[in-house]
Amino acid sequence: GTAYGLALRQRPVYGAEAQILYGITQGASARADRELATQEVIMLGAANLQPVADEQGLSVSALQDAVTVEVIGDSDVLRLQVADPDPSAALRTAELIAEGYVGSVTASSSSELADARAVFENRIEQLSEQLAAVEGRLEELDAQRPADAGSAQTPEERRLDLQSRALQQRLGDLQDQLTSVELEQAKTADVRILAAPELLGEPLAPKPAQAAAAGALVGIAIATAMIVLLTRGRRPESAWDR
């Protein structure tokens, strides 16, 4: 009864929950479990929570205490839960965290791959121009070669020929790297809010029924202990007491 009464007098704490898909496409990651665990850390990290904490007038540590993130079973879905005495604040906080996380992860992944692709494309263009100039010069030298000069290359032609082969090799390597980046862009994880934040059906706390059940169990345990102690403390009647 006491536990039940105390539970009723406690200020309710409400929960808001959202589900976020971090879908790792085939081949994007050979360590899906580790990747999802990393995303839990990122969502709870200061970089993701600081803007939300600022808007809600909280410290990051206080917000972290009110937030839990976990992977749902064997799925690629992250469950975000926020606890707050104000149900509206719990819902708003869950919305801000989920939206901020999805936006940050998506932008970061896309930006890094786009930057890498731009670097490779720019370098390929530069080397292609150099190769065109080298091959153009080789054609000029070949056209200027006297008819009776034979097939032997001049020192300049040998130098340009070696330079041409080196440029072709470097261009091939860069093209392979560019292709890898393009494949990574196609395999980027599908990150999105799967279930929009909503309030849970019941407050996270207090739980009067659970408190009453726990109190009853404690009462039974205490009563049992008292009986055992009283039984042990009672001296058996001897023949001299009769």
Range of the domain at 53: 2-208
Residue 48 lies in a domain: yes
Residue 42 lies in a domain: yes
Say whether pLDDT at 159 is over 70: yes
Q: How far is CA 57 from the centre of its chain?
A: 25
Say whether pLDDT at 206 is over 80: no
CATH classification of the domain holding 55: 3.30.70.1130
**Tens of pLDDT, residues 41-72:** 999 999 999 999 999 899 999 999 999 999 99
Q: For residues 112-120, give the mean pLDDT.
A: 83
When pLDDT is cut at 50, 70 and 90, the band that residue 84 belongs to is very high
The first and second tokens of residue 190, run together, are 């599908």
Number of domains in the chain: 1
When pLDDT is cut at 50, 70 and 90, the band that residue 218 belongs to is low
Q: What is the pLDDT of residue 67?
A: 96
CB 69 within 8 A of CB 78: yes
Residue 240 lies in a domain: no
The model carries a pTM of 0.57
Lowest-confidence region among 94-103, 126-135, 185-194, 225-234: 225-234
Residue 21 lies in a domain: yes
Residue 92 lies in a domain: yes
Residue 228 lies in a domain: no
Q: What is the pLDDT of residue 72?
A: 93
Say whether pLDDT at 111 is over 90: no
Distance CA(164)–CA(167), nearest Å, equals 5
Range of 127-131, 179-183, 238-242 with top mean pLDDT:
127-131
CB 12 within 8 A of CB 226: no
When pLDDT is cut at 50, 70 and 90, the band that residue 240 belongs to is very low
**Tens of pLDDT, residues 1-43:** 544 444 445 789 999 999 999 876 554 444 577 888 889 999 9
Nearest CA-CA partner of 91 in 99, 83, 101:
83
Q: What is the pLDDT of residue 227?
A: 66
Residue 236 lies in a domain: no
Q: Kindly report the average pLDDT of the chain as a whole number.
A: 81
Residue 234 lies in a domain: no
